[in-house]
Structure 1
Amino acid sequence: MRIVAAAPSQPSARWLVEFAHFTWKEAQACIFAGLFFAAVLLVPRGGWLAVPRYDLLLLIALGIQIWLVRTGRETMDELKAICLFHLLGFALEVFKTSSGIRSWSYPDPAYSKLFGVPLFSGFMYAAVGSYIIQAWRLFDLRVEHHPPYWMAGLIATAIYLNFFTHHFIGDYRWYLGAAALGLYARARVVFRPHLQDRRMPLPLAMVLIGFFIWLAENIGTFFGLWAYPHQLGAWAAVHVTKWNAWSLLVLMSFTIITNLKHVKATVQVPA
């Protein structure tokens, strides 16, 4: 795709060029998630050539990840962060699908299941990290008024732990969300679609990304990739409260990404 680089004289034309560049860069940033969900749509539920669907999706996810590193779209340091997302996500999946919790389940058989969870599931969390990494590079992202790293790390850790502990001591996600909103109230993400810098409140960016992940989750459950208890008889939309959970998970992912060396250099923490 080739987009004209010169800035048009008419404001409406300039806006359209900026929007075209924004859309194209967003599509590139979503390359892992886009290719993976294309596989979800194309791979038959019954598998292919006697290979179960979950195993095929694992092979496809590994192939996409290797291709991203081999082509230089992701560095080895970024790959380490992606692997961390995979491990954190897989640990959460094992807990949520365990016999005592059963928040959701993976109904199809697979050779690559571990503790009842197919290994490809960790890549769904890694896709969030991959998107943030790609967007950071493509949009020349910077962050203004980021809170101190220790505070950001503390709230991110509390958010992750709450996904486990709310089954035993109560769900505090709304309190954690309010605390995160206060912590990042002044934070702004600066991005450049084409020729001009744009600014957006960082909490708004997290909420918007969380919304699109919630939509993707609805697509995944519609195609039977996994199922919540209320979807076992017939498909129904994922409850909208999951949007909040995904937004918090995006914030946790963002916190991990900001600690990459080349990313940290673009983050402004007031003294």
Structure 2
Amino acid sequence: MRALKQLVRFGWEQALSCLFPVVIFASLALTQILPLPVLPRYDWLLIICLLMQWWMVRSGLETKDELKVITLFHLIGLTLEIFKVHMGSWSYPEEGYFKIFGVPLYSGFMYASVASYLCQAWRRLKVELIKWPPLFMVVPLAAAIYLNFFTHHYWVDIRWWLSGLVILVFWKSWVTYEVGGTRYRMPLTVSFILIGFFIWIAENIATYFGAWKYPNQVDAWSLVHLGKVSSWLLLVIVSFLIVATLKQVKGKNQLE
């Protein structure tokens, strides 16, 4: 019974940490079922995301430092979206006033919501890192993973080599977290895989409600290819590395 209670507690904390993504999914579903007047759907989604972000900070669910991290992810995600749409990887076929090079501005919040989840879960579960690799290894790895999303269109796709490097670099790294006063630990690479898999599930939900469309979904929705898990896995790693590095740097500054 204790194990079951702990699992329920863990699930509840995870659900609370996913508040921003849940609002995005609910908005996607609502605006598809009940079209809102005056503005195109993409613009309403942007307004909802902005209001949600404002409320998260105003209510204290997110700190100003976390807002800075989330804004950074919004810019990183929006840059990637503009490039991928230009390359034909996916599209945003609906109309919208607030679009840049065919990409609606709300799309950046889908990346920002991942950062929001990481920041929320980090605080709620009192996450700590064990044997975190030095910055000179983490920063180039994160940069290489992000750049590969762009360069593989012109050069060799090295995602599997990068995945192997992730395993080597974080082989001895663990993440510890607290549930109901008890601390648990998990290999860091396992946490990457789990988060990436659940984001793939979320991607299927998002495309079903028309957040964006892959080429094979233009005529009718179909399941997102399982191979996309590797892409989300690498993107989660970039997200985690940035959040973890910033928290490590801030922690050292506070100690000093």
Counterpart secondary structure, 1:154:
helix
Distance 1:262 1:62, change over 3 A: farther
CA distance in 2, matches of 1:52, 1:262: 42
1:159-178 matches, cutoff 5 A: 159-178=145-164
Distance 1:15 1:162, change over 3 A: same
**Cα pair 1:141 1:192 within 8 Å, conserved:** yes
Query: Are residues 1:78 and 2:95 paired?
Result: no
CA distance in 1, matches of 2:222, 2:37: 31
**Cα pair 1:18 1:193 within 8 Å, conserved:** yes
Query: Are residues 1:66 and 2:67 paired?
Result: no
Match of 1:148 in 2: 134
Counterpart secondary structure, 1:197:
strand
Query: Are residues 1:235 and 2:221 paired?
Result: yes
- Structure 1 residue identity aligned to 2:158: Y
Q: Which residue of 219, 235, 245 corresponds with 1:259?
A: 245
Hey, which bits of structure 1, 4+ residues long, moved more than 3 A?
A: 261-266
CA distance in 2, matches of 1:262, 1:53: 39
Q: Deviations over 1:33-54 (max 9, x none)?
A: 0111111111136731121111
Match of 1:34 in 2: 22
Counterpart secondary structure, 1:132:
helix
**Cα pair 1:159 1:248 within 8 Å, conserved:** yes
Distance 1:43 1:215, change over 3 A: same
Query: Are residues 1:89 and 2:77 paired?
Result: yes
Cα RMSD for the two superposed structures: 1.5
Q: Deviations over 1:49-86 (max 9, x none)?
A: 12111111101111111111111111111111101100
CA distance in 2, matches of 1:232, 1:128: 26
Counterpart secondary structure, 1:73:
coil
Q: Which residue of 89, 95, 99 corresponds with 1:103?
A: 89
Q: Which residue of 120, 124, 132 corresponds with 2:118?
A: 132
1:187-206 matches, cutoff 5 A: 187-206=173-192
More helix by share: 2
**Cα pair 1:46 1:53 within 8 Å, conserved:** no
Counterpart secondary structure, 1:171:
coil
Counterpart secondary structure, 1:168:
coil
**Cα pair 1:141 1:189 within 8 Å, conserved:** yes
Distance 1:172 1:65, change over 3 A: same
Match of 1:25 in 2: 13
CA distance in 2, matches of 1:249, 1:196: 30
Q: Which residue of 75, 100, 107 corresponds with 1:114?
A: 100
Q: Deviations over 1:166-211 (max 9, x none)?
A: 0001110000011011101111110011121011111110111111
CA distance in 1, matches of 2:212, 2:114: 18
Match of 1:6 in 2: none
CA distance in 2, matches of 1:88, 1:105: 18
Counterpart secondary structure, 2:176:
strand
**Cα pair 2:32 2:209 within 8 Å, conserved:** no
Structure of larger gyration radius: 1
Q: Deviations over 1:84-108 (max 9, x none)?
A: 100000000000011xx10000011
CA distance in 2, matches of 1:15, 1:46: 42
